[in-house]
Structure 1
Amino acid sequence: MKTLSKVITLSAILLALPALADSNTEALQQAVDHHSRSEQNKNRDQYRNPLPTLSFFEVTPQSTVVEISPGGGWYTEILAPLLAAHGKYYAAHFPANTSSDYYNRTLAAFKAKLAADPIYSRVSLTEFAPDNSGNIAPAGTADVVLTFRNLHNWYGRGGDDGMVAIFSDFYKALKPGGVLGVVEHRLPADQADGDWTKSGYFPEQLAIRLAEQAGFVLEERSEINANPKDTADYAGGVWTLPPSLRLGEQDRAKYQAIGESDRMTLKFRKPVAQ
Structure 2
Amino acid sequence: MKTIKTLITASVISLSFASVSFAGTDNSQLEQAINGEHRSAANKARDQYRHPMETLNFFGFNANMTVVEIAPGGGWYTEILAPALKGKGKLYGAHYPDTGEDNYYSNSRRNLEKKLASNAVFSEVELTNFIPKKASKLAPAESADLVLTFRNLHNWGEEGMAQVFKDAYKALKKGGVLGVVEHRMPENQSWKDNKRSGYVPQALAVKYAEEAGFKLAASSEINANPKDNANHPKGVWTLPPSLRLGEQDKEKYLAIGESDRMTLKFIK
Question: TM-score, normalization: structure 2?
Answer: 0.89
Partners of 1:149 and 1:133 in 2: CA distance: 20
How far apart are residue 196 of structure 1 and its match? 1.2
Q: What corresponds to 1:129 in structure 2?
A: 131
Q: What corresponds to 1:173 in structure 2?
A: 171
Q: Secondary structure at the match of 1:264?
A: strand
* Partner deviation per Cα, 1:83-102 (whole Å, 9 max, x = no partner): 00110000111112364511
Partners of 1:220 and 1:121 in 2: CA distance: 33
| Matched-pair contact (CA < 8 Å) for 2:144–2:176 | yes
- Structure 1's unaligned 5+ residue stretches are 1-16
Q: What corresponds to 2:35 in structure 1?
A: 33
How far apart are residue 77 of structure 1 and its match? 0.6
Partners of 2:165 and 2:76 in 1: CA distance: 22
How far apart are residue 21 of structure 1 and its match? 3.9
Q: Secondary structure at the match of 2:148?
A: strand
Q: What corresponds to 1:73 in structure 2?
A: 75
Partners of 2:264 and 2:191 in 1: CA distance: 22
Q: What corresponds to 2:147 in structure 1?
A: 145
Q: Secondary structure at the match of 2:195?
A: coil
Q: What corresponds to 2:48 in structure 1?
A: 46
| Matched-pair contact (CA < 8 Å) for 2:98–2:107 | no
Partners of 2:45 and 2:128 in 1: CA distance: 28
Q: Secondary structure at the match of 1:58?
A: coil
| Matched-pair contact (CA < 8 Å) for 2:98–2:110 | no
Partners of 2:103 and 2:231 in 1: CA distance: 31
| Matched-pair contact (CA < 8 Å) for 2:71–2:93 | yes
Q: What corresponds to 2:121 in structure 1?
A: 119
How far apart are residue 36 of structure 1 and its match? 1.1
Q: What corresponds to 1:108 in structure 2?
A: 110
Q: Secondary structure at the match of 2:27?
A: helix
Q: What corresponds to 1:269 in structure 2?
A: 267
Runs of 4+ in 1 over 6 A off after TM superposition: none
Out of 25-34 and 117-126, give the one that drifted further: 25-34
* Partner deviation per Cα, 1:44-81 (whole Å, 9 max, x = no partner): 00000000000001110001000000001100110000
Q: Tell me if 1:190 matches 2:194.
A: no
Query: How many percent of aligned residue pairs carry the same amino acid?
Result: 57
- Structure 2's unaligned 5+ residue stretches are 1-18
Structure of larger gyration radius = 1
Partners of 1:231 and 1:67 in 2: CA distance: 28
Q: What corresponds to 1:13 in structure 2?
A: none
CA RMSD for the aligned pairs? 1.8
Q: Secondary structure at the match of 2:196?
A: coil
Whose relative contact order is higher, 1 or 2, with alpha carbons under 8 Å and at least 6 apart? 2
Q: What corresponds to 2:223 in structure 1?
A: 225
Q: What corresponds to 2:13 in structure 1?
A: none
How far apart are residue 26 of structure 1 and its match? 2.4
